[in-house]
Every structure is written in C-alpha cells, then in structure tokens.
C-alpha cells in the first residue's frame, strides 16, 4: 500500500515514527563514534539508534564487527550502553552465552547435550560497519550501498585524514520530532555567527549532490567554511578550524537527541569561542524547534504558504522522507 502523508501526522504520530525506524533508520548509514575509541582488541562501544541497541567491537586483527546488542537466546543484552572492553568474547548478561568477536556462539551454559540444539546455527544479529575519515558508521541493512558512495560529495571538501583531538562530546535533548530539527538545519535562510555580543547572518550557497546538502560561505573572509548535511540525520560544520559533528538522533516521535562532537587542532586558539558560539546557536535552534513542535500539536497550522528558493533543501528532504516511507 502506498504511503499517504496526508493520512498521518508526519511529525507527531508514533505509527509514522515506527515506519521511519524500519524504512529509514534500519536502512541508512548512521554515524556511530570515532575510530579512536577502538585502540585495543576487545574495545567496544554501544549506543541506541532509533530504538535499535547496537554494539561495535574490535577484534585482535583490528577489524570492527557490529551487531544488534541482542542475544539470540532470549533477547538479553550483551553489554551496557557506552564504551568498554571485553576480554576475548562478548558474554550475554542474562545466561552467559558467549560469542566470538565475529558473532559465533562458542558456549551456551546449560545447553550441553540438549536434544535438537545446534550451537553452530546460533549467531549474533550482524550489521554493517564502515569507517570514513576516522569516523565509524553503522548500517543495519546488510545489503545497503557502501558508505563511500554516500560520502563521495564530501571527499574533496573535508580535510583528510581527520585526526584531530575530540572534546565536548555531549548530547542535547530536544522536545521535537527529528525532522523538525533537520529541516531547521537545512533551511537556507541563513547561518548565524557570533559577532561581539550579537549574531550576524552569513550568506551562503546551497547545493545538493547525491544525498548530501552542501552550504558554502559566500563571504571571502570565511574561505574554507563548510556546512554539510548527510541523509538522513548527520551534519558536519567546519568553521574557524573546528569541525563539529552533529548527529540528530530520534528517540521517539516527539523527542530528538542532538549529539555533538567537536574536533579541533590542538594549538587552535579560536576553539573556545567557536565552541561557545556553536552551543549558543544550538540552544536557539532547540528553542525554535520545540516551539514549532508545540504549534503543530496545537492544530492551528495546516499547511505551509508556499516554497521560497531558500527552502529548496527542506523540500528535497521532505520528498526524500515520503519516498522512503512509500
């Protein structure tokens, strides 16, 4: 059955969010963490993406393996959320089933000699892991096109390799649908920049290449500034020598967690000002997005009045969402 956006509230309905989980977030490359988090064999990172609990672990050869953090016995968790290290195996926290780092079941206590139990048929639920420029991504769809294809428009635009120290990894909870936050980011009406006690709007040029939306500063004084958004919910902002990764993670139909990682040159003296300015802009954006969510819930607004040229990326994004759900 074709998806009819007029029949469901795209920004509030839990049924739409459930559909997005399956049709968008289970099929697209999602930013996960930094490759530097996997320095040693057994290092792992676990996180929840649109309700899917994920774990990525490094083996003795340096390969990264990704799985749903879900035991095939009775759905127990293998690890808690966050970073950690395990010895030589992943061990389920419920009944201690043990799995090698490539996902094979090695030990199932209590199942020795159980008729019909085939340990060789048991395996963790695998996902794809990709690394690009020192960033680790995951994709729940084993048949999805490569991460490299998706990131091609950024190959010549972001510095390579990106090996800057990271700091200020934190998350902003925002009470709005994830698409409202994305649309606010993609709106081409202007980027605000700190200028003394005030903010000024930066002129910029918008282009869409593949599934990447690129904004470039038109102001010659800000040569090298880049804003890039990658379908469906990731943004890179390169400005004043600081690279900000902004992951707009949906938690539910009406809650988004915006995760920020700032990467910068160690000797960069402008980093503090850039980070402070960025966080203030995020606070303002969160305030706007939460008010939009509340106004949609109020039921007064029914449809937008038209399409201005600066809304080109927003329209592209909406059509891309509907196409994914159809």
Point out which residues bind ligand FES (CB under 6 A): 71, 73-74, 76, 92, 94-95, 97
CB nearer ligand FES, residue 91 or residue 147: 91
DSSP states of 81-105: SEEEE-SSSEE-TTT--EE-TTSBE
Angle at 280 between CA 274 and CA 281, to 5 degrees: 90
Dist. CA 190–CA 184, nearest whole Å: 10
CB of 127 to ligand FES, least distance (A): 18
CB of 74 to ligand FES, least distance (A): 4
Pairing of strands 43-49, 52-58: antiparallel
Angle at 266 between CA 166 and CA 197, to 5 degrees: 85
DSSP structural state of residue 61: T
b/e map of 115-139 (b: 16 or more CB within 10 Å)? eeeeeeebebeebbbbebbebbbbb
CB of 102 to ligand FES, least distance (A): 18
Phi, psi of 84 (to 5 degrees): -170, -170
CB nearer ligand FES, residue 80 or residue 224: 80
CB of 82 to ligand FES, least distance (A): 20
CB of 77 to ligand FES, least distance (A): 8
CB nearer ligand FES, residue 117 or residue 287: 117
CB nearer ligand FES, residue 74 or residue 307: 74
Dist. CA 127–CA 81, nearest whole Å: 17
CB nearer ligand FES, residue 71 or residue 129: 71
């Amino acid at each position: 059955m074709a998806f009819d956006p007029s029949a469901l509230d795209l920004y509030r309905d839990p049924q739409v969010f459930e559909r997005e989980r399956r049709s968008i977030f289970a099929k697209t490359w999602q930013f996960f963490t930094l490759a530097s988090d996997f320095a040693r064999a057994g290092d792992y990172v676990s996180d929840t993406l649109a309700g899917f609990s994920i774990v990525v672990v490094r083996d003795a050869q340096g390969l990264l393996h990704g799985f749903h953090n879900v035991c095939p016995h009775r759905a127990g968790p293998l690890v808690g959320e966050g970073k950690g290290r395990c010895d030589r195996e992943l061990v389920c926290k419920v009944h201690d089933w043990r799995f090698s780092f490539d996902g094979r079941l090695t030990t199932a206590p209590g199942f020795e000699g159980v008729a019909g139990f085939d340990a060789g048929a048991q395996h963790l639920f695998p996902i794809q892991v990709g690394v690009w420029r020192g960033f680790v991504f995951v994709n729940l769809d084993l048949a999805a096109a490569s991460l490299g294809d998706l990131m091609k428009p950024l190959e010549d635009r972001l510095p390579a390799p990106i090996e800057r120290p990271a700091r200020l990894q934190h998350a902003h909870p925002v009470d709005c649908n994830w698409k409202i936050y994305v649309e606010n980011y993609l709106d081409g009406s202007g980027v605000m920049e700190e200028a003394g006690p005030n903010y000024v709007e930066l002129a910029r040029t918008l282009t869409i290449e593949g599934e990447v939306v690129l904004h470039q500063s038109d102001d010659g004084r800000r040569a090298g500034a880049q804003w890039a958004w990658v379908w469906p919910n990731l943004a890179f902002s390169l400005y004043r020598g600081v690279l900000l990764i902004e992951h707009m993670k949906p938690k539910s139909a009406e809650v988004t967690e915006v995760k920020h990682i700032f990467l910068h040159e160690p000797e960069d003296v402008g980093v503090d000002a850039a980070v402070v300015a960025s966080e203030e802009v995020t606070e303002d954006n969160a305030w706007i997005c939460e008010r939009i969510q509340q106004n949609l819930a109020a039921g007064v607004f029914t449809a937008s009045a038209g399409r201005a040229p600066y809304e080109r990326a927003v329209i592209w994004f909406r059509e891309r969402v509907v196409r994914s759900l159809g």
